[in-house]
Amino acid sequence: MVDVTLHLPTRSSEAEAERAVVLGKLRRGDSIFRWLTLGAAVSVLIILGAVFVSLIDGSIPAFRQFGLGFITTESWNPVTEKFGALAPIYGTLITSALAMLFAVPIGLGIAIFLTELCPPLLRRPIGIAIELLAGIPSIIYGIWGLFFFAPFLQRTLQPALIDTFANVPILSTLFEGPPYGIGILTASFILAIMVLPFITAISRDVFDTVPIVLKESAYGIGCTTSEVVRRVVIPYTRVGLIGGAMLGLGRALGETMAVTFVIGNAHRISGSLLAPGTTISATIANEFTEAVGELYTSSLVALGLILFFITFLVLAAARLMLMMLERKAGK
Amino acid sequence: MAIDTARYRRRKRRNTRTSVLSLLATVLGVGILAIILGTLVYKGFGGLGLDVFTEMTPPPGSAGGLLNAIVGSLIMTAIGVAIGTPIGVLAGTYMAEYGRYNKLTMVVRFINDILLSAPSIVMGLFVYTIMVAPMGHFSGYAGAVALALLVIPIVVRTTEDMLLLVPGSLREAASALGMPRSLVVQRIAYKAARAGIITGVLLAVARVSGETAPLLFTALNNQFWSTNLNAPFSSLPVVIFQFALSPYADWQRLAWVGALIITCAVLALSIAARWLSSSRTSQ
């Protein structure tokens, strides 16, 4: 018995030491893993910060040379090294605005159809088809736009627009000149087709947050579907719809390949929507590898900075609005 | 009680109008998808043959395929996903498992959502300034890093969402058995959310494999067979871009074939991802 009492403590202290080693290992592994995940999470912030810093750093020569006049000058001449961002900024804003003008009503229409009118059997297939449209790479839209859609518009819509509005005061300048096929209007159409799936998918999800009781009570007092949509669904989801549209706008502003194919790459601001133009992203895509000289490269990076800044603001606003809706739905 | 027939008719007309308009919008949306896919198959299917997968990209005027471009895309996408996935999964893990309710997570989620839709060409510019300019030449590595930067936000988002769906009782049960936190995450939470996380990675692959803009001035392009990642590297989207804008008919034909291949691959990946996530929820 004495033997046992003598042995037990030594044995258990051995086991305890072993246990401490294992526990220490686990504890170390635990904190290593925790710090790893924390580091990864912080790296997301670092990426955004680094993008901003490197773009600002790269665009310093351009802004030092041209000052804020860079943003308000139209000329873009690599030979004389005179650069101004006005034409690409104008092109980016006008194509995105037009794209939203086409895509938002159609996207809302599809979302209304899917949530209120569609027979349940078709709801899933159509929803999936629209979402697949969102997955197609933008270069496909570009090549399709260049070889199929632009010639199609050149033959049909553009001559019709020119003829119809030839004698109407303001519209005649908007639809002036020969039907090139490519140009601002075509780029806007392609952009609209590209952002349509995003806007549709978000609008549909947002419509689904409307409590069914609200809709049912509206139907119950005899409202028609159109009245339910206009008076109940849309007012309830207004913030989310605007957020979704702005998310689409953010995509449209930064879209590169689809636009590069069909915009025509002309560094000038034209009153006509049928004329070729350029956007910030198309300019960078076309000219960056060929840019010689520090000032040229720096001007292109400055364009990138302007684009990133604009999309950042739009996307941030969109997210804030969607968050507001989520909070409302969570209550 | 008099029924206001005129008003009733007006409301009915308005309702019909809304219904017809939204139906037309849907027909238009689905119709455009059909037209795009139809054009792709019509223009691309004729040129699709075995030599597309066995021959290099040709100089103008001669026959050839897209082998080096396809392989280049596969390699760069694989490296990009291999870099981006661990970072994305770990970041998503922090947000869902460790800092679920703290400020950092909220900020990271907000910034990540912005990066998710940030213009990809700006990522290309960024990688150009941090990698291509210091190294002095375009390289496959730079292209892969640019793609990784696009993978991260997608994986972060899906990982966080999927881990948040794992019931807390599972974690509590594991903790009650004395499992340390990191093992609870790795052995329990990851296992429960595995299908969802893989779905996110598949979606990221689908998104990245068609990206052109960030590769234009990072990997550039390479006409020849090359597996040297430290040199300009070929990729399918960039080849499509160059060939489509060229004046040569046979290059344009190859561009269509490439476009068809990419679209099929991307659609297959999206459908696989969708199937995976739906089979998980039906369990």
What are the tens digits of pLDDT across the range B170-226?
999 999 998 889 999 999 999 999 988 998 999 899 989 888 888 988 888 877 777
A179 pLDDT more than 90: no
Pick B108's closest partner by Cβ from A44, A109, A226.
Answer: A44
Q: Is A54:B130 a contact under the CB 8 Å cutoff? A: yes
Q: What pLDDT is stored for residue A9 in this prediction?
A: 52
Q: What pLDDT is stored for residue B281 in this prediction?
A: 53
Q: What pLDDT is stored for residue A331 in this prediction?
A: 52
Q: How many CA atoms lie within 13 A of A39 on its CB side?
A: 8
Q: What pLDDT is stored for residue B178 in this prediction?
A: 87
What backbone phi and psi angles, to 5 degrees, belong to B77? -60, -45
Q: What pLDDT is stored for residue B1 in this prediction?
A: 55
> What is residue A171's DSSP assignment?
H
d(CA B37, CA B32): 9
Q: What pLDDT is stored for residue B282 in this prediction?
A: 46
**Contacts B271 to A, Cβ<8 Å:** 132
Q: What pLDDT is stored for residue A1 in this prediction?
A: 46
Q: A257 and B213: CB-CB below 8 Å?
A: yes
**Contacts B153 to A, Cβ<8 Å:** 44
- pLDDT, tens digit (0-9, with 9 covering 90-100), for B106-126: 999 999 999 988 899 999 999
A327 touches chain B (CB under 8 A): no
**Which tokens sit at A309?**
């800044």
Greater confidence, B63 or A250? Answer: A250
User: What does the H/E/C string look like for A252-294?
Assistant: HHHCCHHHHHHCECCCCCCCCCCCCECCHHHHHHHHHHHCCCH
- pLDDT, tens digit (0-9, with 9 covering 90-100), for A17-48: 888 998 898 889 899 999 999 999 999 999 99
Question: ipTM value of the model?
Answer: 0.88
> Which candidate, A107, A266, A265, A125, places its Cα nearest to that of A194?
A107
Q: B18 and A112: CB-CB below 8 Å?
A: yes
What backbone phi and psi angles, to 5 degrees, belong to B216? -55, -40
B102 touches chain A (CB under 8 A): no
Q: What pLDDT is stored for residue B79 in this prediction?
A: 95
Per-residue confidence at A266, pLDDT binned at 50, 70, 90? Answer: confident
Q: Is A56:A64 a contact under the CB 8 Å cutoff? A: no
- pLDDT, tens digit (0-9, with 9 covering 90-100), for B59-75: 877 778 888 899 999 99
Q: What pLDDT is stored for residue A128 in this prediction?
A: 85
Sign of torsion, CA B9 B15 B21 B26? negative
Which residues lie below 8 Å from residue B138, measured CB to CB, with a gap of 6+? Answer: B132, B217, B218, B219, B220, B231, B232, B233
Q: What pLDDT is stored for residue A11 in this prediction?
A: 59
- B residues 34-53 near A, CB within 8 Å? 35-36, 39-40, 43
Q: What pLDDT is stored for residue B173 in this prediction?
A: 93
Mean of pLDDT values over A153-182: 80
* Least reliable range by pLDDT among A91-95, B33-37, B47-51, B135-139: B47-51
A68 pLDDT more than 90: no
Question: How many residues in total does chain B contain?
Answer: 283
Mean confidence (pLDDT) of chain A: 87
* Least reliable range by pLDDT among A70-74, A171-175, A276-280, B62-66: A171-175
Q: A110 and B26: CB-CB below 8 Å?
A: yes
Q: Which amino acid is at A151?
A: P
A159 pLDDT more than 90: no
Mean of pLDDT values over A275-299: 88
Per-residue confidence at B283, pLDDT binned at 50, 70, 90? Answer: very low
A97 touches chain B (CB under 8 A): no
d(CA A135, CA A195): 11
User: The whole model's pTM is what?
Assistant: 0.89
Q: Is B147:B131 a contact under the CB 8 Å cutoff? A: no
Q: What pLDDT is stored for residue B263 in this prediction?
A: 92
Nearest chain A residue to B113 by CA distance is A319
B78 touches chain A (CB under 8 A): no
Which residues lie below 8 Å from residue B69, measured CB to CB, with a gap of 6+? Answer: B57, B234, B235, B236, B238, B239, B258
Q: What pLDDT is stored for residue A163 in this prediction?
A: 79
Q: Mutation target for A interface from B39, B126, B269: give the one with most A CBs within 10 A.
A: B126
**Contacts A135 to B, Cβ<8 Å:** 206-207, 266-267, 270
d(CA B188, CA B184): 5
> What is residue A145's DSSP assignment?
I
Mean confidence (pLDDT) of chain B: 89
**Contacts A114 to B, Cβ<8 Å:** 26
d(CA A191, CA A169): 28
- B residues 124-153 near A, CB within 8 Å? 125-126, 128-130, 149, 152-153
* R_g of chain A computed on alpha carbons: 29
A125 pLDDT more than 70: yes
B238 pLDDT more than 60: yes
Mean of pLDDT values over B87-104: 93
- pLDDT, tens digit (0-9, with 9 covering 90-100), for B25-55: 999 988 988 899 899 999 888 888 888 888 8
Q: What pLDDT is stored for residue A5 in this prediction?
A: 52
Buried (b) or exposed (e) across A300-321, using 16+ Cβ within 10 A?
Answer: bbbbbbbbbebbbebbbbbbeb
Q: B117 and A193: CB-CB below 8 Å?
A: no
Which residues lie below 8 Å from residue B20, measured CB to CB, with a gap of 6+? Answer: none
A155 pLDDT more than 80: yes
B2 pLDDT more than 80: no
Q: What pLDDT is stored for residue A133 in this prediction?
A: 80
- pLDDT, tens digit (0-9, with 9 covering 90-100), for B216-227: 888 888 777 777
